[in-house]
A and B are shown apart, each in its own frame.
Chain A
Amino acid sequence: MLNRPPRSLPDYVELRCCSNFTFLRGASHPDELVQRAAELGYRGLAITDECSMAGVVRAHVAAKAAGLPLLLGSQFRIDPRDDAESSITLVVLAQDLHGYGNLCAFITKLRRASEKGTYHLTLDNITGAELESCVVLLCPGRNATDAQLAAAGRWTLNQFTGRCWIGVEQLRRIDDELWLHRMRQLSELTALPLVAAGDVHMHVRSRKPLQDVLTATRVGKPLTECGHALQRSAEQHLRTRLRLAQTFPPSCWRKLCRSPRAAASAWTNCATSIRTRSYRRGPPRRATCGKPHTRGQGAGGPQAYPSRCTPRSSTSCR
């Protein structure tokens, strides 16, 4: 399986990637991630910091320079309410400007409801209607039971019908094949398609020591006592497409990558539209303070963002 070369290198879009704006987790700058993804020939890259959009500005600048389609999104850890649920991660990607606004509003709501620097999210306070024009990736934890997986899959399907995938990561662990098998079963059960996702934390594997130090800082222990809190390997970096082709078995590669490929082509447009619309030169024509994310501002219409929400780098973008 390892030494079998694929016939052609697959197109790949990394859909789950956190930058160092996910504090004490991500070990690479957004621009480093974008540049590396462009070097490796990725068809696109999604910057999905945890409950934050802080990294998208730098990523956008770099993506524009590198000519890489950039997807904007965020990931959320959903805490279990009882034993019937497990902790799952939901990656939310904006499809267009409207979705971007919804996602930002959702993050603001979460952040304001908790203490600074934290957020708390359960299945109670997230709905599909709230995140309109967004697509989601369901990324369950490996310690979930089958019943918990099925519950999470059904919930995602109900809330995000037609715009949800299951994100599968293969990180060179001994239970990778078992996990893939379980994910396929979940896919058959819920009719959610599988999609490859890397859960990337760094742009090159040599950032692993830095990532370990960040983990130790987050855990608040000496590095020698962190134990299993540290990542088992440095696989959570932007891997080469050859490695990805070897990592995901050829039989499921087509099925796995069909979605991102289609998504990439579809989302490239979205990303472009977001790019062209949101980072304009000059202040918005009509500031709607207090109602920052008004819906129904059609294409080419006046901007929905008030002046204080306009990204700082807007003038330097063009």
Chain B
Amino acid sequence: MQGHWAALLPLPLPASPSPIDAHALGIWALQYTPRVALLEDSVVAEVAGSARLFGGGEQLHALIEAGAAELGARVAWAPTGTAALAVARRAKTQAELDGFRLPLTKILDPLPLDAIAAVHRHQATLARVGCRCLGDVRKLPRGGLGRRFDKELLHALDQAYGLRPEAYDWLALPEAFHARMELLSRVETAPALLFGARRLLLQMAGWLAARRMGATEFTLRWCHDVMRAKDAGTGGELTVRTAQPTQSVEHFARLLAEHLAKVQLAAPAGDIELLATEVLPIVEESRSLIPETIRKGRGTDLALERIQARLGTACVRRPVLSQDHRLEWMQSWSCEPAKRRPAPRYELPVPTWILDEPLRLVERDNRPHYQGPLQLLLGPDRVEGGWWHRSSADANAAPMNVQRDYWLALSPHAGVLWVYQQRLAHDQTAWFLHGHFA
């Protein structure tokens, strides 16, 4: 499989106000792939395996390039790590940084000899035999090249052209985060520290992302320079806490800015350093298209469990829908979490508000009254069942059998009601109010 390598080359001083060192850059790059290695003065990273995770190759290119630009590094892409580094060193325009635009040999051949360090060591000798670029070296007889120069030259060339596998010592992620930066100029006011601190925050966010952690506390320290007043001390520090673990640079920067606004520097600061003092595992936001509602539901369950543990099992109840034709048994409150999947919704309309105890209605002229005579709109809806149901396990407990004719009734004052007619003892019938429609 063809590799997909990125070479991150820290920009030297005139281009970047405070050059980042390769190790810090490598730790930052670990958030995109575990295959990050230090190569000479730069970082190479193999990202073919992570492209899908970050939404495709182009998306990943954009992410890494944007991050590297903010940190002060240039990124080049190529099928091999050595080639990517060579391109990063020698590319003159933005388009040339992409080593995939042409076949690899056409990109590498015109590059000068100092693009690859192993070749650069023999530049004087090679120049004397007429080699101006890597292509010239490659055209030389391989046997003679091997005998005359050291084997690193052939190795490096083969690796660059993808003829020999590249083996690197992958960079290991440190357990704790600590980054230091020398400021370009002395900073007199605390809010101005933020400009330097932002790059450290970026590095910290990269480290947190690589560790799948979120910071709940971080410390910014600053050291006063040697020209300080005697009573100023060596420096100061500021600790910032967040409510919940997060990796967001914007959030860190906003919090830090608010805290720095209240700080008065005793003397100008020359160095700053950032430490992640408290980190916790974080539940990351999914980058998938479909939002993960299941996880949020689990959060509710966890919260309910905690409340239940504190208040007692019987104090927390949840509504349970059940399949029953009888209105009062269609729903119930249970202390146990629902084990079965919820019952499908009943397709006919049921009232929104149900009375706990059905209310017996007065009758005048054989018509039920509730805040006036009721007009029966629709019905009857006969419900019979529950003969198997007893109120308790007691042998002579009352059966919960129902035999009712439900009607949709309209009351002039109370609106649409759900009433039923039931047969009582001695061949009498009675009307009851059972619910209101909203």
Binding site for B on A (CB under 8 A): 2, 143, 171-175, 177, 208-209, 212, 223-230, 232-235
Instruction: Give bound CA distance, A225 to B379, whole Å.
Output: 27
Total B residues in contact with A, Cβ cutoff 8 Å? 23
Are A177 and B378 within 8 A (Cβ)?
yes
Are B348 and A174 within 8 A (Cβ)?
yes
Interface flag for B281 (CB, 8 Å): no
Binding site for A on B (CB under 8 A): 322-325, 343, 346-349, 378-385, 387-389, 405-406, 408
Instruction: Give bound CA distance, A204 to B333, whole Å.
Output: 37
Instruction: Give bound CA distance, A212 to B383, whole Å.
Output: 14
Given contacts A171-B382, A174-B406, A174-B408, 8 further A-B contacts (CB under 8 A): A173-B382, A174-B348, A212-B385, A225-B323, A227-B323, A228-B346, A229-B323, A233-B385
- 22 sampled A-B residue pairs with Cβ under 8 A: A2-B380, A143-B347, A171-B382, A174-B348, A174-B349, A174-B381, A174-B408, A175-B348, A177-B378, A208-B384, A208-B387, A209-B388, A212-B388, A225-B323, A226-B323, A228-B323, A228-B325, A229-B323, A232-B385, A233-B383, A234-B384, A235-B382
Are A227 and B385 within 8 A (Cβ)?
no
Are A173 and B387 within 8 A (Cβ)?
no
Are A227 and B343 within 8 A (Cβ)?
yes
Name the one of B325, B349, B378, B387 contacting A232, with C-beta atoms under 8 angstroms. Answer: B325
Are A230 and B325 within 8 A (Cβ)?
yes
Are B388 and A232 within 8 A (Cβ)?
no
Instruction: Give bound CA distance, A234 to B382, whole Å.
Output: 8
Closest to A233 in B: B382
Shortest CB-to-CB span from B120 to chain A, Å, is: 71
Q: Collect the chain A residues with CB atoms within 8 Å of residue B325's CB.
A: 228, 230, 232
Are A209 and B387 within 8 A (Cβ)?
yes
Are A172 and B388 within 8 A (Cβ)?
no
Instruction: Give bound CA distance, A175 to B350, whole Å.
Output: 12
Shortest CB-to-CB span from A222 to chain B, Å, is: 9
Shortest CB-to-CB span from A211 to chain B, Å, is: 11
Instruction: Give bound CA distance, A228 to B323, whole Å.
Output: 6
Are B385 and A172 within 8 A (Cβ)?
no
Shortest CB-to-CB span from A281 to chain B, Å, is: 46
Are B347 and A172 within 8 A (Cβ)?
no
Closest to B381 in A: A174
Closest to A225 in B: B323
Q: Collect the chain A residues with CB atoms within 8 Å of residue B385's CB.
A: 212, 230, 232-233
Closest to A175 in B: B348
Instruction: Give bound CA distance, A160 to B384, whole Å.
Output: 38
Q: Collect the chain B residues with CB atoms within 8 Å of residue A175's CB.
A: 348
Q: Collect the chain B residues with CB atoms within 8 Å of residue A235's CB.
A: 382
Greatest chain B CB density within 10 A among A172, A223, A229 is at A172
Q: Collect the chain A residues with CB atoms within 8 Å of residue B383's CB.
A: 232-233
Closest to B418 in A: A174
Are B347 and A173 within 8 A (Cβ)?
no
Instruction: Give bound CA distance, A223 to B325, whole Å.
Output: 13
Q: Collect the chain A residues with CB atoms within 8 Å of residue B346's CB.
A: 228
Instruction: Give bound CA distance, A2 to B379, whole Å.
Output: 10
Instruction: Give bound CA distance, A282 to B349, whole Å.
Output: 59
Are A232 and B384 within 8 A (Cβ)?
yes
Instruction: Give bound CA distance, A177 to B348, whole Å.
Output: 13
Instruction: Give bound CA distance, A235 to B403, whole Å.
Output: 11
Instruction: Give bound CA distance, A223 to B387, whole Å.
Output: 10
Instruction: Give bound CA distance, A233 to B353, whole Å.
Output: 23
Shortest CB-to-CB span from B420 to chain A, Å, is: 12
Are B323 and A233 within 8 A (Cβ)?
no
Are B384 and A233 within 8 A (Cβ)?
yes
Instruction: Give bound CA distance, A225 to B324, whole Å.
Output: 8
Q: Collect the chain A residues with CB atoms within 8 Å of residue B408's CB.
A: 174
Q: Collect the chain B residues with CB atoms within 8 Å of residue A232's CB.
A: 325, 382-385
Instruction: Give bound CA distance, A2 to B429, whole Å.
Output: 15
Name the one of A177, A224, A227, A228 contacting B389, with C-beta atoms under 8 angstroms. Answer: A224
Are A227 and B322 within 8 A (Cβ)?
yes
Shortest CB-to-CB span from A244 to chain B, Å, is: 15
Instruction: Give bound CA distance, A223 to B383, whole Å.
Output: 16
Instruction: Give bound CA distance, A143 to B344, whole Å.
Output: 14
Instruction: Give bound CA distance, A227 to B385, whole Å.
Output: 10
Closest to B325 in A: A232
Instruction: Give bound CA distance, A174 to B405, whole Å.
Output: 10
Greatest chain A CB density within 10 A among B346, B349, B383, B385 is at B385
Are A172 and B405 within 8 A (Cβ)?
yes
Are B324 and A174 within 8 A (Cβ)?
no
Closest 9 CB pairs of A and B: A227-B323, A174-B381, A233-B382, A172-B382, A233-B384, A223-B388, A228-B323, A232-B325, A234-B384
Closest to A205 in B: B384
Closest to A226 in B: B323
Closest to A177 in B: B378
Instruction: Give bound CA distance, A235 to B381, whole Å.
Output: 11
Instruction: Give bound CA distance, A233 to B385, whole Å.
Output: 7
Name the one of B343, B348, B380 contacting A172, with C-beta atoms under 8 angstroms. Answer: B380
Q: Collect the chain A residues with CB atoms within 8 Å of residue B379's CB.
A: 174
Shortest CB-to-CB span from B148 to chain A, Å, is: 78
Shortest CB-to-CB span from B174 to chain A, Å, is: 58
Closest to B408 in A: A174
